[in-house]
A and B are shown apart, each in its own frame.
Chain A
């Protein structure tokens, strides 16, 4: 994130340069520049929320996966992984999430059982 609080446009990099690659949809920038609260959307030190409530384009790290959706762990929804909602249809359900580089679509019913933290660091970075 750069100084304006916007996500930087990614540059195409060679594999041996370590860089965060975040893909941003043009609509997402608009959503991010209109915060819901005076201090900004996530002012606290630790902001844990269900994955279904994470705004589009906002990246977070998975903290817990409820047992009822434990099957999702096999797909890669493991605590410590970075996840970012990227697309959403008109109805808002299902949404497409960028899971550590791969896109996966989930319904709200499943996403609500996964908790994410906006401010933690992932266990390993997508190089």
Chain B
């Protein structure tokens, strides 16, 4: 029996490392080993996310107090199965470990996090890590589950075989944390010289792994009975897809049932706050820019925060529990036919909240072409920002009545139709892309199915906060800047000689832009006022509502009903159809463009996407206009 609160160190003499204490420690390990949970436990809120230079791999760095109160930097490296660089993630990990990553110091310690359940398979990676010669602590994680299912190992003997200290831990319940901290606070010691196999020789490696695990008394735990029982349902030919659809619908419902009311509450609060701020400032150009531009811009982002956080919470629960892996396998059956990777299912689902974090989530897709295809179709998913626009137009033109007495109403049907439109165009685009430009010879879909587990609330919470921060900072800053610029332009007189005070929206620079756009949207029955709305909605889609409110002379307070009446007056039903279809398919989000540029490291794809979506949106809007005019006159 081994005590998990102490480190089983190799009794043979180990050379002292060249540093007196740990300064930079890297967390290495295979995916699904609970590495990030341990990282979260050690660093808590003292984390930051960045990017490694030149690659689109996220860098997670955190800080923990070491010996003498000094901080130790902990780098959570991407999960790798081996140090042979087969993917961008693995290359980054290798480069960091060798000190070749610019901007990141070479680690003087390694915490190797392994899944205790699968030790034999992971011994090859262990050999590679120990071989580096850096002081390392081998952590057999998930020890609670390991023991519960009948697993056994003699950590002391394992440490002797490997030449490095070993500790049994469980990041989810905190077992072994003190031992790990003890290691981090002690003087670094290099691993002992032991016989390690030639790593390229697979059979020799296997034989070594077998010998080591035998002499360490390693006993595999029994397969999880619960996991197998649940998989019998979740992966069943019929029940699998049924459960999948139910789960996806539940995710959506949760966004509307929980997210929407919170959103509305927040919107009300922000409006009131904006009013308070406005009353504190003197009237004038500056006030208008700050309030109309700045505050509106900030509100536009914050309003969606509840929905986005809730969605990420739900997705996080599915991910941590292990179900999402099964969902990706089920999704791959259909997505594979279009040429997409089943792993794209998660980012595409997130895109229903906001495309910005969704595009960042595509980093888990190894194939560059699959990832690019997913990024390019993500904005077609109906994001939360489109909903206020849909709601406004649908409410203005459709009666709140049921269709032929069935449970469904006209308005709900229209909303669903728009959702499906976005989805259908996304699928079509993916198929086109993968059949031509992004055609790839080898399809890679490999998914390890982890055992079902209860999510760890601490780790889950930190990840939700992390993603919410990404949304607020990535999307928010861009939206804020663009809103301020647009608000400023709204005060720039288009004709010389006019003073700033007498500028209205119509005869400002923005008004001129709107009128410039008018000839292009005239075939859709839309005029220059809508043109101005489309220009401002580039910052954030829902700003068109505020813009139209101003242009139609609707009082800010009584927004909804009055604006609906104005829309009914100004637009024909056919034009409304055109407008709403345009909103469904056009890329009207500078934040998304910025993120795409960042994730693809070039302007090429972002521009192509913008143009493509614009063309598709226009064509579909025109088609919709013609059909609607034929139907409704």
Same assembly:
yes
Q: Report the interface size class on chain A.
A: 35 or more
Are A15 and B150 CB-contacts (below 8 A) given A74-B82, A93-B333? Answer: yes
Partner of A102, one of B118, B235, B444: B118
Shortest CB-to-CB span from A16 to chain B, Å, is 8
Q: Is the CB of A23 within 8 A of B332?
A: no
Are A127 and B332 CB-contacts (below 8 A) given A87-B235, A106-B446? Answer: no
Interface locus among B219-227, B379-387, B584-592, B596-604 = B219-227
Q: Is the CB of A78 within 8 A of B332?
A: no
Shortest CB-to-CB span from B298 to chain A, Å, is 43
CB neighbors of B among A78-97 (8 A): 78-80, 86-91, 93-94, 96
Give the docked Cα–Cα distance between A120 and B34 (Å): 35
Shortest CB-to-CB span from B535 to chain A, Å, is 45
Shortest CB-to-CB span from A23 to chain B, Å, is 5
B340 at interface by CB-CB < 8 Å:
no
Partner of B445, one of A13, A23, A94: A94
Q: Mark B597-624, 1 if CB is under 8 A from A, else 0.
A: 0000000000000000000000000000
Partner of B220, one of A104, A107, A126: A126
Are A15 and B449 CB-contacts (below 8 A) given A71-B86, A74-B81, A96-B235? Answer: no
A32 at interface by CB-CB < 8 Å:
no
Q: Mark A91-121, 1 if CB is under 8 A from B, else 0.
A: 1011010001111111101100000000000
B136 at interface by CB-CB < 8 Å:
no
B81: chain A residues within 8 A (beta carbon) = 74-75
Q: Mark B13-32, 1 if CB is under 8 A from A, else 0.
A: 00000000000000000000
Partner of A72, one of B87, B231, B446, B447: B446
Shortest CB-to-CB span from B545 to chain A, Å, is 43
Q: Is the CB of A91 within 8 A of B118?
A: no
Q: Is the CB of A123 within 8 A of B445?
A: no
Q: Is the CB of B202 within 8 A of A73?
A: yes
A110: chain B residues within 8 A (beta carbon) = 443-446
Q: Mark B328-345, 1 if CB is under 8 A from A, else 0.
A: 011011101100001000
Q: Is the CB of A105 within 8 A of B206?
A: no
B496 at interface by CB-CB < 8 Å:
no
A9: chain B residues within 8 A (beta carbon) = none
Are A21 and B222 CB-contacts (below 8 A) given A15-B152, A96-B329? Answer: yes
Partner of B222, one of A15, A73, A80, A94: A15
Are A15 and B445 CB-contacts (below 8 A) given A78-B202, A79-B202? Answer: no
B222: chain A residues within 8 A (beta carbon) = 12-13, 15, 21
B283 at interface by CB-CB < 8 Å:
no
Shortest CB-to-CB span from A24 to chain B, Å, is 10
Q: Is the CB of A75 within 8 A of B231?
A: no
Give the docked Cα–Cα distance between A4 and B220 (Å): 30
Shortest CB-to-CB span from A54 to chain B, Å, is 17
Q: Is the CB of A78 within 8 A of B329?
A: no
Shortest CB-to-CB span from B33 to chain A, Å, is 12
Give the docked Cα–Cα distance between A79 and B206 (Å): 10
B501 at interface by CB-CB < 8 Å:
no
Chain A, interface SS category: loop
Give the docked Cα–Cα distance between A13 and B379 (Å): 52
A68 at interface by CB-CB < 8 Å:
yes
Shortest CB-to-CB span from B369 to chain A, Å, is 14
CB neighbors of A among B459-489 (8 A): none
Shortest CB-to-CB span from A86 to chain B, Å, is 8
B66 at interface by CB-CB < 8 Å:
no
Give the docked Cα–Cα distance between A19 and B526 (Å): 75
Give the docked Cα–Cα distance between A76 and B235 (Å): 22
B201 at interface by CB-CB < 8 Å:
no
Q: Is the CB of A109 within 8 A of B237?
A: no
B568 at interface by CB-CB < 8 Å:
no
B210 at interface by CB-CB < 8 Å:
yes
Shortest CB-to-CB span from B244 to chain A, Å, is 10
Partner of B231, one of A12, A80, A87, A124: A87
Q: Is the CB of B151 within 8 A of A15?
A: yes
Q: Is the CB of B446 within 8 A of A127?
A: no
B86: chain A residues within 8 A (beta carbon) = 71, 74
Are A90 and B219 CB-contacts (below 8 A) given A96-B329, A110-B445? Answer: no
A34 at interface by CB-CB < 8 Å:
no
Q: Is the CB of B446 within 8 A of A104?
A: yes
Q: Which residue of B lies closest to A101 (CB)?
A: B223
Q: Is the CB of B443 within 8 A of A107?
A: yes
A91: chain B residues within 8 A (beta carbon) = 333-334, 337
Q: Is the CB of A106 within 8 A of B150?
A: no
Are A74 and B220 CB-contacts (below 8 A) given A89-B330, A102-B118, A106-B446? Answer: no
Give the docked Cα–Cα distance between A102 and B149 (Å): 14
Q: Is the CB of B333 within 8 A of A90?
A: yes
A23: chain B residues within 8 A (beta carbon) = 223, 228
Q: Which residue of B lies closest to A76 (CB)?
A: B121
Q: Is the CB of A78 within 8 A of B118?
A: no
Are A25 and B232 CB-contacts (below 8 A) given A78-B202, A93-B336? Answer: yes
Q: Which residue of A lies closest to B213 (CB)?
A: A124
B409 at interface by CB-CB < 8 Å:
no
Shortest CB-to-CB span from A126 to chain B, Å, is 6
A14 at interface by CB-CB < 8 Å:
yes
Q: Is the CB of A103 within 8 A of B231?
A: yes
Give the docked Cα–Cα distance between A25 and B221 (Å): 21
CB neighbors of A among B436-453 (8 A): 442-449
Q: Is the CB of A89 within 8 A of B336?
A: no
Q: Mark A31-57, 1 if CB is under 8 A from B, else 0.
A: 000000000000000000000000000
Partner of A107, one of B206, B325, B330, B445: B445
CB neighbors of A among B62-90 (8 A): 81-82, 84, 86-87
Q: Which residue of B lies closest to A74 (CB)?
A: B81
Partner of B449, one of A104, A107, A123, A124: A104
- Leading 4 A-B pairs by shortest Cβ distance: A74-B81, A15-B150, A87-B235, A103-B449
Residues of B bordering A, CB below 8 Å: 81-82, 84, 86-87, 117-118, 120-121, 124-125, 150-152, 202-203, 206, 210, 219-223, 225, 228, 231-232, 235-237, 240-241, 325, 329-330, 332-334, 336-337, 342, 442-449
The 21 listed contacts between A and B (C-beta, < 8 Å) are: A12-B222, A12-B225, A71-B87, A72-B446, A73-B202, A74-B124, A79-B203, A80-B206, A89-B240, A89-B333, A94-B342, A94-B447, A96-B235, A96-B449, A101-B220, A102-B121, A102-B448, A104-B448, A105-B325, A105-B445, A105-B448
